[in-house]
A and B are shown apart, each in its own frame.
Chain A
Amino acid sequence: MANTGTKGDKVFHAVVFAAALSIILIVAAVIAVMFQSAIPSMERFGIGFLFGREWKPAQEEFGALPFIFGTVTSSVIALILSIPVSLGIAIFLVEQAPKKLARPIAFMVELLAAIPSVVYGLWGIFVLAPLIREYIGPFLQTYVGFLPIFQGRITGIGMLTAGIILALMITPIITSVVRDVLEAVPHTQREAALALGATKWETTMIVLGNASSGIAGAVVLGLGRAVGETMAVTMVIGNSPQIVASLFEPANTIASLLAANFAEATDEMYLSALIEIGLVLFLVTFIINAFAKLLILSVASKTNAAKQG
C-alpha cells in the first residue's frame, strides 16, 4: 500500500519528462533536417550565399543579401515607429488613465493582436498603400525629400508600407508586456519620487528606470515577431529582391520570400537555397535574441536588486 503513490509519481515524472524532452528533440530535428536539406546549396555557393545580391532561380543564382537587408530594415522601421507609441500607451494605461478609460483601451490594444495577419495585409493594400501613395509619400518628399530614404517613385507598395504594417502588428505585444512590467514596479518607488517633489513626468522616468530590463524584453519580443512575420509583409512589400536606399521602393524579406516561392521551387538546388535562407532567418533571430538577452542581463541585476530592496 505504501508504494502505490510512489509508483504513480514515477509514471507521472516519466510522462512530464518525456514532454519536456520532446521539445528539445523537435527543435534538434528541425535544425538537423534544415541543415541537411541546405547542404547542396551550401556546397555550391559557400559563404558567398549570404553576400550575393542576385536572386535568379532560372540561372541558378542565389544570393541572400537583399532578403536579409529587407528583413532587418523593415523590422527596424517597425520598431522605430512602434516603440514610442507602445511606451506611450502603456504609460498612459498604468500611470495616468482612470480605470474607466484604461480598461476599454487595453481591450482595444489586445484586440489588435487578435486580427489575422492576412487582414492586416488586405488593409495594407487597400488603405495604407493608397494613403502612402497619395498623401504620406508626397508629404515626406516635400519636407524631408533631401534624405535618400525618401527619394524615388512612390507606388505605395514597398519597404515603408511593410514597416508600418509591422509596427501596427507588434504594438499590441510590446504594449501589453510593457504594461505588465510597469505594473510590477513597486508603488513605493513612485511614492519615493513624489515625496521628493517629483512631477508626474519625473515620477514616470523613475518608473521607467525600474522597468528598463522588462521594456528591453518587450522590445525583443516585438522584434522577434517583426522578423518572422510573413503574410502581411508579403502582401505589401512588393517582393522585389533589391537593396536600395529609398523606403518607397519594393523590397523583400526572408519570410516573405519563403512564403511566396516554396510551392514553385521544383528543382533541387532552388529548394535547397530556400531552405538555406530559412536557416539564415533562424540564425538571424537567434543572434538578435542572444544580443538582446545579453542586454537584458546587464540591466536585470539592477531590477532584481530593486525587488529585494
Chain B
Amino acid sequence: MESKISVKNLDFFYGSNQALYDISLDIPEREVIAFIGPSGCGKSTFLRTLNRMNDTIASASVKGSVMMDGKNIYASGTDVVALRRRVGMVFQKSNPFPKSIFENVAYGIRINGIHSNKADLEERVERALKNAALWEEVKDRLNSSAFGLSGGQQQRLCIARALAVQPEVILMDEPASALDPIATQKIEELVVELKRDYTIVIVTHNMQQAARVSDRTAFFMLGKLVEFNPTQKMFTNPDEKLTEDYITGRFG
C-alpha cells in the first residue's frame, strides 16, 4: 500500500485536555478515506492536524508524527504555508470570500503565484470550476458576488477554490452537513470523481455517506481510533464490536 500520509502515535492536547490518544494510521494515495464517529470523538481535530490548521489555536499541542511523502510535517522548520498549499481544505460551512465568483477561485492561484499570465489564470479558474461541477451554473456570472449562489453552489465554489491551487490532498470537514439532499448528492458524486487525481479525507456524521463515497473508513471514539478498515468490511463485518454497535445505530 502506497501511503500518502502516515500518522504514528499521535497525541493531541487542547491545553492540558487530551483530545486524541495514540493515533496511528496510513492514508493511501488517491483514495477516499472517511472519518466517522460520534460528536466530540476527535475526528475533526484529527483532520485538522493533517494540514496543521490547529496551529491557529494557541493552547494546542501535538506529540507523535505525521509523515507526508516521508517527511514529518511537524518537524521544526516545516513551511506551514507550503504544506497547506499541498493539503487543501473544505469546511463544514461554506466560507467564500466577499469577492466575485471568479476572484474566489483565483485567490489561491494569485497568492501562490501559480499562473503565468491572465489567460492562464482564466483557464485555471475555468478548469477548477469544471472539476468542481460548477462551471455550467456560473460561467455567465463569474463577476457577480459569490454570496448570490445557493448553499450547495457556495460549497462547490469552495471546493473549486481548493482545487485551483492544485493540492495533493483535500481534507473535507463535513462538507455536506449544511446542505439539502440534492446538493449533498452532487458533493458526493464530486468526491468520487475527484479521487482520480487527489487523496481525499472526509469527515462525516452521515454513515451512509461514508459507505457511499469512501474506500476506507476510520471509526473514532473518545479521541481514540477504534477501527480502520476498508469501507466494505467496516460496514459488513467490522473487527470491533464497538464499530458494529455504532454503525448499526445502537448508540451515537
Task: Tell me which residues across on chain B come within 8 A of A195, comparing CB atoms.
Answer: 51, 53, 84, 88-89, 91, 162
Measuring CB to CB, which residues of chain A are less than 8 angstroms from any residue of chain B?
98-99, 186, 188-199, 202, 206, 209-210, 302-303, 305-306, 308-309
User: Among B85, B89, B96, B108, which residue has its beta carbon within 8 angstroms of that of A309?
Assistant: B96
Bound-state Cα–Cα, A206 to B107, Å: 10
Complex Cα gap A309–B81 (Å): 26
Tell which of B53, B97, B146 touches A209, judged by Cβ atoms closer than 8 Å: B97
Contacts of B88 in A (CB 8 A): 195-196
In the bound assembly, the distance between CA atoms of A206 and B89 in angstroms comes to: 17
Decide if B127 is an interface residue (CB 8 Å cutoff).
Answer: no
Report Cα–Cα, A50/B3, bound state, in Å: 78
> Least Cβ distance of A307 to chain B in Å?
9
* A99 & B58 in contact (Cβ 8 Å cutoff): yes
| Given known A-B contacts A99-B58, A309-B154, A197 and B112 have beta carbons under 8 A apart | yes
Q: Is the CB of A202 within 8 A of B111?
A: yes
A-B contact pairs, 13 of them (CB 8 A): A98-B58, A188-B93, A188-B95, A195-B88, A196-B108, A196-B112, A197-B81, A198-B108, A199-B111, A202-B111, A303-B98, A305-B145, A309-B147
Nearest Cβ in chain B — how far from A203, in angstroms?
10
Contact indicator B161/A196 (Cβ below 8 Å): yes
Residues of B within 8 A of A194 (CB): 53, 56, 84
Q: B112 and A210: CB pair below 8 A?
A: no
Residues of B within 8 A of A (CB): 51, 53, 56, 58, 81-82, 84-85, 88-89, 91, 93-99, 107-108, 111-112, 145-148, 154, 158, 161-162, 165
Give B151's nearest chain A residue, CB to CB.
Answer: A309
Min CB distance B65 to A, Å, is 22
Name the A residues within 8 Å of B89 (CB-CB).
191, 195
Also in contact, A192 and B158, with CB within 8 A (given A197-B108, A197-B112): yes
Chain A's nearest CB lies how many Å from the CB of B88?
Answer: 6
CA distance A198 to B88 in the complex (A): 11
* Most chain A CB neighbours (cut-off 10 Å) among B82, B98, B99, B162: B98
B165 pairs with A206, CB closer than 8 A: no
Contact B85 A192 (CB under 8 A): no
Chain B residues with CB below 8 A from A308, complex form: 147
Whether the Cβ atoms of B58 and A306 lie closer than 8 Å is no
Q: Which residue of B lies closest to A299 (CB)?
A: B98
Q: Is the CB of A209 within 8 A of B99?
A: yes
How far apart are the CA atoms of A99 and B57 in the complex, in Å?
12
Contact (Cβ within 8 A) A197 B111: yes
Contact across chains for B95 and A191 when beta carbons are under 8 A apart? yes
Are A192 and B145 touching (Cβ within 8 A)? no
Question: Contacts of A188 on B, CB cut-off 8 Å?
Answer: 91, 93, 95
Instruction: Please give, as numbers and ranges, the residues of chain A lying within 8 Å of B158 by CB-CB distance.
Output: 192
What B residues does A309 contact at CB under 8 A?
94-96, 146-147, 154
Pick from B95, B108, B145, B162: contact of A302, CB under 8 Å: B145
Give the residue of B56, B147, B165 whose beta carbon is less than 8 angstroms from that of A197: B165
CB proximity of A212 to chain B, nearest CB, Å:
9
Complex CA–CA separation, A206 to B145 (angstroms): 15
List the A side residues contacting B56 at CB < 8 Å: 190-191, 194
| Contact between A191 and B82, CB atoms less than 8 A apart | no
Contact check, A210 vs B98: say whether CB atoms are below 8 A apart. Answer: yes
State whether A306 and B98 are in contact (beta carbons under 8 Å apart), knowing that A188-B91, A196-B108, A197-B82 are contacts in the complex: yes
Residue of chain B at shortest CB distance from A212: B98
CB distance from A95 to the nearest CB of B (A): 10
Apart from A195-B51, A210-B97, 18 more pairs, CB < 8 Å:
A98-B58, A189-B95, A189-B97, A191-B53, A191-B95, A192-B95, A194-B53, A194-B84, A195-B53, A195-B88, A196-B162, A196-B165, A197-B81, A197-B108, A209-B98, A209-B99, A305-B145, A309-B146
> Known: A98-B58, A209-B99, A309-B154. Contact between A196 and B85, CB under 8 A?
yes
Q: How far is the CB of A205 from chain B (nearest CB, A)?
A: 9
Residues from chain A with a CB closer than 8 A to the CB of B51 are 195
Q: Which chain A positions have C-beta within 8 A of B82? A: 197
Residues on B with C-beta less than 8 A from A210 are 97-98
**Nearest chain B residue, comparing its CB with the CB of A197:** B85
Nearest residue in B to A187 (C-beta to C-beta)? B56
A309 to B145, CA, bound (A): 11
Q: How far is the CA of A3 from the CA of B88 in the complex (A)?
A: 63
- Taking a contact as CB atoms closer than 8 A, the residue among B94, B107, B145, B146 that contacts A196 in the complex is B107
Top 6 closest pairs, chain A to chain B, by CB: A197-B85, A305-B147, A195-B89, A196-B108, A188-B95, A192-B95
Report how far A193 CA is from B111 CA in the complex, Å: 10
Chain B nearest CB, measured from A121 CB (Å): 42
Q: How far is the CA of A206 from the CA of B97 in the complex (A)?
A: 8
CB distance from B152 to the nearest CB of A (A): 13
State the CA gap A192–B95 with chains docked (Å). Answer: 7
